[in-house]
Amino acid sequence: MDIARKCPPVLTVIVILSLIAALSIRGLELDLSLLFSTDFLKQILSYFYDLYPPDLSGGFLREALVASVETLAISIMGTFFALIIAIVFTPFAIRAMSVGGGLSGERGIKSSLLRSAVVFISRMILNLLRSIPELIWAIIFILVVGLGPFAGVLALALHTGGVLGKLYADVLENVDPGPVESIAATGAGRMKIFFYGILPQALPQCLSYTLYRWEMNIRGAAILGFVGAGGIGLLFYKSISLFHTDRVLTLIIIVFIMVNLVDNLSLYLRKRLL
């Protein structure tokens, strides 16, 4: 049957994965017997049990709410600046649109070499931005602009800018060429082809990716405080380090609510876009 053929050799995959897992466990020198001891389970469960009841005192709640508004703000501004970074880089990362690209109609080896070089370099820069996690960017930016939410915004912006730039480039490169040609055939220039032929096809997908990254950035913004880059992370760090377990639960609840609000809002917007 056709369905069965699509399935890779399951047994082989399982064996290989087990081998990799065993190697990793040995490499990390994990003591797995610990995992199955009752002590271990008790320890974890008691830790979670101790979280209850949450600290709902007014002072702390107010502090936490202020911090979560700041977290939201950081995620929004971070995504917004990421959008700008991506918009600046994307045109250079696309073969057809880059310097001397197909849309400009220039042909010949020289322009094609130049184009390849520009595309390669832009893609490398996007990769670099993307490879470094936002937390590390945050530490770096604290050195530049000091402690506070601005460093967090810049950190999210750079990492997410790299991600979005790559995604946008991929989407724009894969639009249906038919409508693009029909616009070009009217004698329209590069800009007009882009706005009438390419962008309208790619826009919903690009916006959808952007919203999705915003969802991820609200989580990202929630941990930036660990290194002093603003948001609710600092409260988390303090509460956990100082064994204020009741506060940890409050914060978990707040983050849970906030993340879910953003997720649902963005899901709703994304559905409307497509």
Partner 1 sequence: MQKKVPSYPFVAHPQSRYDSTLKGLLILGALLILGGSYEISEIDISLLWSEEGASGARDFLFGLYPPEYSREFLSFVIKPTLNTLYIAILGTLLGVFIAIPLSLLATSSLMHRGIFASDKADTALKRLLRIAPFILARGLLNLFRSIPELIWALIFVRAVGLGPLAGVLALGVAYAGVLGKLYSEILDSVDPKPIEALHASGATKMKVVLYGYVPLALPDLTSYTLYRWECGIRAAVVLGFVGAGGIGQELELSMRMFDYHEVATLLIILCLLVGMADMISGWLRRRIV
Partner 2 sequence: MDIIVNNLQKGFGGAPVIKDVSLTVKEGERVAIIGPNGSGKTTLLRLLNLMIFPDQGSIELAGKKVNGLGVKEARTVRRGIATIYQSHNLIPRFKVINNVLAGKLGSWPTSKALFSLLIKPLEEAGVREVLEKTELEDKIYWRTDRLSGGQQQRVAIARALFQNPNLLLADEPFASLDPRSGEKLIRILLGWSQQKNKTLIVTLHHLEFALAHFPRIIALKNGMVFFDLPTGQVTPEHLQQLYGDSYQGV
- CA 84: distance to chain centroid? 15
**Options 8, 53, 59, 108; binder of partner 1; rule CB under 8 A:** 8
Interface with partner 2 by CB under 8 A: which range of 44-52, 116-124, 200-208, 220-228?
A: 200-208
Closest separation in Å from C-beta 107 to partner 1: 31
Check residue 256 for interaction with partner 1 (CB under 8 A). Answer: yes
Do the beta carbons of residue 142 and residue 227 sit within 8 Å?
yes
* Nearest residue (CB) to partner 2, 61 versus 207: 207
CA atoms within a 13 Å half-sphere pointing along the CA-CB vector of 170: 9
Distance CA(44)–CA(37), nearest Å, equals 11
Among 162, 164, 203, 172, smallest CA distance to 103 is for: 172
Contacts (CB under 8 A) with partner 1, residues 192-221: 219-220
Whose tokens are 């049957």? That residue is 1
H helix runs in 146-244, sequence order = 149-173, 177-184, 190-193, 199-224, 233-241
Residues in 86-105 at the binding interface with partner 2, rule: CB under 8 A: 104-105
Helix ranges, the chain (H): 2-6, 10-28, 32-36, 38-50, 58-93, 109-131, 134-145, 149-173, 177-184, 190-193, 199-224, 233-241, 245-273
Residue 100 interacts with partner 1 (CB under 8 A): yes or no: no
Residues whose CB is less than 8 angstroms from the CB of residue 103 and which lie 6 or more positions away in sequence, other chains included: 96, 97, 184, 190, 193, 194
Contact of 205 with 171, CB cutoff 8 Å: yes
Per-position x/- string for 26-45, each x denoting binding to partner 1 as judged by CB under 8 A, each - no binding: -xx-x---x-----x--xx-
Among positions 85, 184, 224, 227, the unique one binding partner 2 when judged by CB under 8 A: 184
Q: Which of 196, 212, 226, 237 binds partner 2 (CB under 8 A)?
A: 196
Using CB under 8 A as the criterion, which residues of the chain lie in contact with partner 2 when the complex forms?
104-106, 178-179, 181-189, 191-192, 195-197, 200-201, 203-204
Question: Which residues would be at the binding site for partner 1 (CB under 8 A)?
Answer: 3-4, 6-8, 17, 20-21, 23-25, 27-28, 30, 34, 40, 43-44, 47-48, 69-70, 72-74, 76-77, 80, 127-128, 130-133, 135-136, 139-140, 143-146, 148-150, 152-153, 219-220, 222-223, 226-227, 230, 233, 236-237, 240, 248, 252, 255-256, 259-260, 263
